[in-house]
Amino acid sequence: MKYPLIDRDHSTLAFNERVLSWARRADVPVLERLRYLCIVSSNLDEFFEVRMALHLRAMQDRHRHAGFTRQTYQAISKQAHELVHSQYEVYNNQLIPALAKAGIRIVSHADRNVEQHRWVKRYFDQEVKPLLIPVGLDPAHPFPQVANKSLNFIVRLSGPDAFGRDNEIAIVKVPRVLPRLIRMPERVAGTQTLVVSLSSMIRAHLKDLFPGRKVGEFSQFRLTRDSDLLVDEEEAVNLRKALRQGLAQRHYGRAVRLEVSSGCDEFLSSFLLNQFELPEQALYRVHGPVNLVRLNQLIDLVDQPALLFPAYRASYPTQLAKGQSIFERLQQGDVLLHHPFESFDGVLDFLREAVQDPDVLAIKQTIYRTGANSELMDLLREGVRRGKEVTAVVELKARFDEEANIGSAEQLESIGAQVVYGVVGLKTHAKMLLVTRREGRRLRRYAHLSTGNYNSRTARTYTDIGHMTCDAEITRDIDQLFTHVASQNRLPALRRLWVAPFKLHDRLVDAIERVGLAAQAGQPARIVAKMNSLTDERLVQALIEANQRGAEIDLIVRGACILPAQVPGLTERIRVRSIIGRMLEHTRVFYFQVGPVTSLYLSSADWMNRNMVRRIEIAWPVKDAALRDRIMAECLGNYLADTQDAWVLQPDGRYKSLMATPATKAGHRRKVSAQANLMKQYAAT
């Protein structure tokens, strides 16, 4: 039987509403509040580029596609408009005053004094105007190509042009190389930190771009485009080259959203909507800069640590000792690394030792997101130079990291590494590093598995678990999976790993069903699972059925969750909570209790259909009792006890903050922050 579920896209927007709550919190330093506002804007950009693009495409193409209809587009648009309105309310009514109180002001044209006007004019003439080319529209000058998420101005002019014609519309494209915020020098700013926005500077001097014409109505505007890379993998002879060609077109995909100033003239907004073939719902009038993401630059312009979170310095992994051979340590037992509370240095040291050790013969690694200037990629290249057999499975289709990954792949290939790009039609999302070492007369494998990416930058802010082991069965399975991905031979039966798209989905459903059957038999039965998103209908239906058999289920889901929780007669034993904190929750942990038997798995996969059927993912068991207890305490129990950063899903589909919920007993509720507890536990001394 199928049960009614929560809409995925509504749930995604609700997650961003929870993130926005941090921008409202007076107990959070003001520059960090600004950062959360920017995060929401960045998330919304991606939402429009990917999800809203599907809704709009289905509506414009006049056919129903995978549940996307005119009605779903309108409903999602309504919620998105409300969220954007909330963003700008927070920006104008809370953050701008809070920044001003801290001596930081984004000075508008009307608020500048004479000396500041002179400075802005001089900066505009010297640094900005030379890079602007206004385009007057006529048959010989059609509407210019507008890149995805770029800043532009539309201007309505009066009076004839140089040739006596009345072409009244002009477009000014603003190059990305120009900073969106410029700090005034102390000699004109005085004791305050005064900043000028580029859009304000251009608005104030638009007339300088059109000498001899009268500037009438105008508005800044920003276009968001469908950014899905459409590459036919079955037809592509060389996927890397096909993707590189596709990247060149990404900035000019189908229009999805149009942002304009709140006071934009109806004639101009209608002109733009018509130009980009967008419906009225795609128009977003904003009271402020059209790109809040670029306000991140303000954080870099202001050197005031007191306006940021206190710096956190992660400890070196507690189960490792600097200077000790990690290979020797793993021969004694498995090692767990909890990022970002423990530093990523342990992973780099593991790879560094493998590169430098003359007894290491081969290194195999999956590359999904490593970031720019990656020390890890440097180490892999050094491994090749030292004669190691280096195999890199590079996922070229990691969304918005394609270009960086193509560059990494080409650098490795150029010096002789074996580079493969996974399996056609699937993304390789599993996080694996395998080292083969000669020890006497035998070869031994050592592995690092992770719930997150091999990215030392995000490892400072994303919560993830790394697991190092030389367990013969696990490392054998990993080696078999690497061979399968490279050779595309049939994957043999694995002993420990659950792998998508082959067995992971079925194994998870079976595990959930066993818990339900145990509950039905009157045995202890519980599921605790932590993940980023829960949108796979098959897994959701299995959870509901297990709940109806009597199983107790606690889910810690950061983002989208389509499972209705605590609904009488349906899911009264299912509790769903979302943790929004200083760090981005990214760990995937699955715990199953079937009578007296318990099992715990770590995974690279969220419970989403794409992870189960369109990606190569892994889940693996943690057998060491001490490590399992640690994971249960730090990643599950700790988060279930959170009363400060936790939001609980209500039967009506809305989330309620526990921080805003009154204590059930007399007195004050004790504030518990899971992340704060872990930061305190692992901070370097």
The residues annotated with a catalytic role in the active site are 429
The token duo for 679 is 């930061």
Contacts with 656 (C-beta within 8 Å, 6 or more apart), sequence order = 647, 648, 650
CB 370 within 8 A of CB 351: no
Checking 676-680 for CB contacts under 8 A at 24+ apart, the result is 676/644, 677/638, 678/338, 678/341, 678/634, 678/638, 679/312, 679/341, 679/582
Q: Which residues pair with 446 in a beta bridge?
A: 435
* CA distance linking residue 59 with residue 282, whole number of Å: 12
Q: Which residues on neighbouring strands pair with residue 150, listed in sequence order?
A: none
Encode 219-253: b = buried (16+ Cβ within 10 Å), e = exposed.
Answer: bbbbbbbbbbbebebeeeeebbebbbebeeebeeb
Distance, in Å, from the CA atom of 46 to the CA atom of 327, rounded to the nearest integer, reads 41
Cis, peptide link before residue 358, omega less than 30° from 0 = no
SS3 annotation, 296-356: HHHHHHCCCHHHCCCCCCEECCCCCCCCCCHHHHHHHCCEEEEECCECCHHHHHHHHHHHH
DSSP for 148-192 reads TT-EEEEEEEES--TTS----EEEEEPPTTS-SEEEPPHHHHTTS
Q: Which residues of 631-640 are buried (b: 16+ CB within 10 A; e: fewer)?
A: bbebbbebbe
For the chain, the straight-line distance linking the first and the last C-alpha, in angstroms and rounded, comes to 55
Of 218, 224, 304, the residue nearest 267 (C-alpha)? 218
How far apart (Å, rounded) are the C-alpha atoms in residues 413 and 393? 12
Give the largest CA-CA distance in the chain. Answer: 89
Which residue from 376, 429, 442, 378 is spatially nearest to 399, judged by alpha carbons? 429
The secondary element (H helix, E strand) that includes residue 585 is strand 584-585
With the CA atoms of 634, 640, 645 and 650 taken in that order, what torsion angle do they form, in degrees rounded to the nearest 10?
Answer: 150
Compute the distance between CA of residue 251 and CA of residue 149 in angstroms, rounded to an integer: 8
Measured distance CA(280)–CA(196) in Å, rounded: 32
For 526, half-sphere exposure in the C-beta direction (CA atoms, 13 angstrom radius) is: 11
Cβ 395 vs Cβ 429: under 8 Å: yes
